[in-house]
Amino acid sequence: MTDTLTTRSARAPLAAPADGRKNHRRGRLLGKNPLGLLFSGPYLVFVLAVFAFPIGYSVYIAFHDFFFAAPGAQVDRPFVGFDNFVTALTDPAVIRSFANVGVFLLINVPLTVVLSLVLATALNRITRLRTFLRVSYYVPYVTASVAVVAIWLFLFSGDGFVNQVLGPLAPDPSWLINEQLAMPTIAIFVTWKQLGFYILLYLAALQAVPKELYESASTDGAGAIRSFFSVTVPGVRSATVLVLLVSTVTGANLFTEPYLLTGGGGPNGASASPVLIMYQRGLQQGQPDVAAAIGIILVILVLIIAFIQNRFVGGDDR
């Protein structure tokens, strides 16, 4: 996604000489309108200060014996090589959290892609009640996680509404205090919460699928299901790549839900996420160096997953 857009915008300056001849003498060191740099200056400073520098700093922290000290105090923080990474990877709680987030992604990502595409396709075709339905699907997405977590705690508690409806079929121990079910329940909760955003992305992509393709598919005798698989699915492939990437990155960031729904990653660490462990190790136990190392390992894993997704879904258009 980013690649195609970068090339598109990189092409733009080539067009400049054609209409910019009269400004030739203003000098080309900063481009035709150096004012643009001034206008974007605050944003660039912001990106450097809040994204670029911290990413570099994170790597520094992960490779040093880093601890919190009073501001201004002179402390020695020696380079320790891969020590923090070794500490992180030999900690069973860390390994458990990576496995947990793996379970989360295996449930959340495919479910998100399938449900959002199916619902977006249906929403795109419907004429009546369209606004009402669209708004219904977006509401969980625009609502604060903390607020919807409160509802789910109530709905999925031991004698809560869901178990009352299920009656004898209710799991024991209940959803969020069951080691096998805690993470899948959270994965389904997050799918529900975020689905509206992905429906929105697919709705945008569906507008770009040429109507003629559906017409020729139906002339060839393809039914609704056939044309969904042979026209819609390939037609929105670039959106699918984006949905996969964003849902994987968002899923790897999981924190609020295990922190609140399962009382900090319980039962027995079965729903602890890597970010939750980073919070506990880094800020609660004062080991920011180990926490930074966990963050870097997690990002590398996410990049590998994103690369694999891209290889299989991206197709030849990139």
Partner 1 sequence: MTAVARPRRQRPVSGVSRAGAIVRGIVLGLGALLFLFPFYYMVIGSLQTTVDPSIAGAFPNPGNLTLDNYVAINSRINLLTGLVNSGIFTGGVLLGTFVFGLLAGYSLAMLQWRGRSATFALALLVQVVPFQLLMIPLYVLIARDFGLADNYLGMILPFFINSTAVVIFRAYFLQLPKELFEAARIDGASELRLLWSVAIPLVRPALVTVVLLTFIGPWNEFLWPFLVTKDAALQPLAVSLANYITTVSASAANPFGAILAGALVLAAPVVVLFIVFQRYFTSTDIGSGVKG
Residues 136-195 that bind partner 1 (CB under 8 A): 136-140, 142-155, 157, 159-161, 164-165, 192, 195
285 near partner 1 (CB under 8 A): no
Angle (CA) 113-118-121 rounded to 5° is: 120
Residue whose CB is less far from partner 1, 103 or 123: 123
126 near partner 1 (CB under 8 A): yes
75 near partner 1 (CB under 8 A): no
Angle (CA) 304-93-146 rounded to 5° is: 80
The CA–CA distances, whole Å, from 299 to 58, 94, 207, 262, 306 equal 12, 14, 33, 24, 10
Q: How far apart are CA 300 and CA 245, in angstroms?
A: 14
269 near partner 1 (CB under 8 A): no
313 near partner 1 (CB under 8 A): no
**DSSP class of residue 64?**
B
Query: Exposed (0-12), middle (13-18) or buried (19+): which is 117, by Cβ within 10 Å?
Result: buried
Total number of residues binding partner 1 (CB under 8 A)?
Answer: 123
35 near partner 1 (CB under 8 A): yes
Residues 39-58 that bind partner 1 (CB under 8 A): 39-40, 42-44, 46-47, 50-51, 53-55, 57-58
* Smallest gap from residue 92 Cβ to partner 1 (A): 20
Q: Quick one: which of 93, 170, 209, 249 contacts partner 1 (CB under 8 A)?
A: 249
Binding mask 290-309 for partner 1 (x = CB under 8 A): -xx--xx-xx--x-------
**Identity at 99, one-letter amino acid code:** A
The dihedrals phi and psi of 208, each to the nearest 5 degrees, come to -90, -5
30 near partner 1 (CB under 8 A): yes
